[in-house]
Structure 1
């Protein structure tokens, strides 16, 4: 049973588009993201989300270059794909492939058994974030609603 209709629009809620967050380190940013998910989905444990994101980062940084990271992980007990979009006040070190600090993140949390859906979403995100002008638009947003609307193309 694969849902091929998963798009950025279907996994990102306005509550999980967070603009100009103060993040002092990769760890703090991942904690913030984990807490944000837990607030929207109380059944999901913030600590478990954080631990899974950190475990994934240990395999290799999800910093894809040009100030962008796409942290992602699978999560037991998660029944749907969840997206979180965050822009940071200032870039943080993320061990990115180009060693640039990261200030634009899109996090994906996927159910443990999800396979192709999550790869398809990663490719959609990489394609969007490949457009420098689009990334600059996101970085210029000054509130959560504008950030959300820009990301989903509203």
Structure 2
């Protein structure tokens, strides 16, 4: 599954002004439960928070991939947030996180979940693309940067 299949422009936020991990997860939950999904923000938040309790989804270098599996959904859905200022996300390198790609997948889609996470990890290891994301000044440019990277690196 390509990144463009997970995202929509209305689930990409630039310059979000949140000050904590909890507020960031609440913002993401609202995006993932937006129009066109059958998800509730509370259920998404609970799922993401439960996964964070197992261990931080902060990768390091200012990046995190909050994710989880949920019953009752038909397809994977993603959201991308670029924060105005980084927040503590318990990342292994202790750097504040400012770029987050959140993912919710159907509970039974274990292999697809892992494949998407692997693709996102490759994305965030691409230093040039990460720098481009940090330089973006609007949601449309963020969306285009993410989807174009996904199209070039489709599995």
| TM-score scaled by length of structure 1 | 0.93
Can you list the C-alpha shifts for 1:26-49, whole angstroms capped at 9, x where unaligned? 000000011112222453111010
What is the distance in 2 between the residues matched to 1:41 and 1:22? 25
Aligned 1:2-17 pairs, distance under 5 A: 6-17=1-12
Number of the residue aligned with 1:137: 132
Secondary structure of 1:10's aligned partner: helix
Aligned residues: 149
Q: Which of the numbers 97, 105, 109 marks the counterpart of 2:104?
A: 109
Of the three residues 68, 86, 110, the one matched with 1:73 is 68
For residues 39 and 125 of structure 1, what CA distance do their matches in structure 2 show?
22
Is 1:58–2:50 an aligned residue pair?
no
1:91 to 78, 86, 94: 86
Q: 1:128 aligns with which of 107, 123, 133?
A: 123
Distance, in Å, in 2 between the alignment partners of 1:114 and 1:152 is 22
Residue number in structure 2 paired with 1:3: none
Q: Distance in 2 between matches of 1:115 and 1:40?
A: 25
Q: Which has the higher helix share?
A: 2
Equivalent residue number for residue 153 of structure 1: 148
Question: TM-score, length-normalised on structure 2?
Answer: 0.92
Q: Secondary structure at the match of 1:28?
A: helix
What is the root-mean-square deviation in Å for CA atoms of aligned residues?
1.1
1:22 alignment counterpart: 17
Give, in whole Å, the separation in 1 of the partners of 2:121 and 2:34. Answer: 27
Unmatched tracts of structure 2, length 5 or more: 150-155
Runs of at least 5 residues in structure 1 that lack an aligned partner in the other structure: 1-5
